[in-house]
Amino acid sequence: MEPVLNVSAVSMNFGGLRALNDVQMHVCAGEIAALIGPNGAGKTTFFNCITSIYEPSEGEVWFTPKAGVRTKLNGMKPNLVTAMGMARTFQNIRLFKNMSVLENVMIARHCRTKAGILGALFRPLTVRQEEKEIVERSYALLKYIGLHKWYNEQACNLPYGAQRKLEIARALATEPTLLLLDEPAAGMNPQETTELKQLVLRIRDEMDMAILLIEHDMSMVMSLAERIYVMEYGCLIAEGTPAEVSSNPQVIKAYLGEEVHA
């Protein structure tokens, strides 16, 4: 299948620290891939490099949006990367805490709307229709994720697991081709994690999206991912199916006895 993301030889230096070293990775259309590795391995730095939050020190990031042209993302502004079709959630939740749940999704949706500042000021009919559509689509997304009963609640009043789901709703509002999830199950209880697994599968199947998942919860990774990349000290040390990766001696050593069962 055609890769939506193709990363070649990406390295990232922070002063003397080489946080990523010659990383090659691809994600195909419609696939769920995972990136795992011990704390400090460079996983979040990798997301920051491919979404242009950091400019990689070396290497290239190529992206092919749905029905679009293969494009090099190096040097592109992060908001343009989102508009191209790559959306992400953050390891440390980044919601507008004092805005309502619905408003949080509506703001994310704005990258798919046409009205500029003038439109927002003078609000002609076309803009008002667009606003109505934003409200309706944002509410529909909340319903899809199961957060609609809280639509008018301030984001900071939501239980932690629901805030994590709201981050996903915000990412979905941008209609991505590739969804990047940075530890979506962190801080969730087992029931919430089970629901999250089902949600991720539903998103991939029903919204025709590729997903790249960073996660420490191995049961989640092994049950969701079709392909897994393993990173240690900024280098990829393994790539394969859950069964291949979990029986790889280098991976087992990197996790030093932690469970990596397929």
Ligand X SMILES: Nc1ncnc2c1ncn2[C@@H]1O[C@H](COP(=O)(O)OP(=O)(O)OP(=O)(O)O)[C@@H](O)[C@H]1O
The residues that touch ligand X, with contacts defined as CB under 6 A, are 14, 17, 19, 37, 39-45, 91
Choose among Mg ion, ligand X, none what residue 184 binds, the Cβ cut-off being 5 to 8 Å by kind: none
Choose among Mg ion, ligand X, none what residue 39 binds, the Cβ cut-off being 5 to 8 Å by kind: ligand X
Choose among Mg ion, ligand X, none what residue 19 binds, the Cβ cut-off being 5 to 8 Å by kind: ligand X
Q: Which is nearer to ligand X, 65 or 78 (CB)?
A: 78
Minimal distance in Å, beta carbon 235 to ligand X?
Answer: 12
Minimal distance in Å, beta carbon 44 to Mg ion?
Answer: 3
Q: Three-state SS for 88?
A: strand
Asked if 130 and 137 touch (Cβ cutoff 8 Å), the reply is no
Choose among Mg ion, ligand X, none what residue 61 binds, the Cβ cut-off being 5 to 8 Å by kind: none
| Environment class of 22 (CB within 10 Å of its CB; exposed 0-12, middle 13-18, buried 19+) | middle
Q: Which is nearer to ligand X, 43 or 109 (CB)?
A: 43
Concatenated DSSP letters for 115-178? --HHHHHH--HHHHHHHHHHHHHHHHHHHHHT-GGGTTSBGGGS-HHHHHHHHHHHHHHT--SE
**Pairing verdict, β 227-232 and 32-36:** parallel
Residue selected from 6, 44, 64, 174 as contacting Mg ion according to rule CB under 5 A: 44
Q: Which is nearer to ligand X, 13 or 154 (CB)?
A: 13
**Contacting residues for 34 by C-beta, under 8 A, at least 6 apart:** 212, 213, 214, 215, 221, 224, 225, 227, 228, 229
Minimal distance in Å, beta carbon 139 to ligand X?
Answer: 33
Choose among ligand X, Mg ion, none what residue 140 binds, the Cβ cut-off being 5 to 8 Å by kind: none
Minimal distance in Å, beta carbon 194 to Mg ion?
Answer: 23
Distance CA 184, CA 53 (A): 19
Minimal distance in Å, beta carbon 28 to ligand X?
Answer: 23
Q: Three-state SS for 67?
A: coil
List of residues contacting Mg ion (CB under 5 A): 43-44, 91
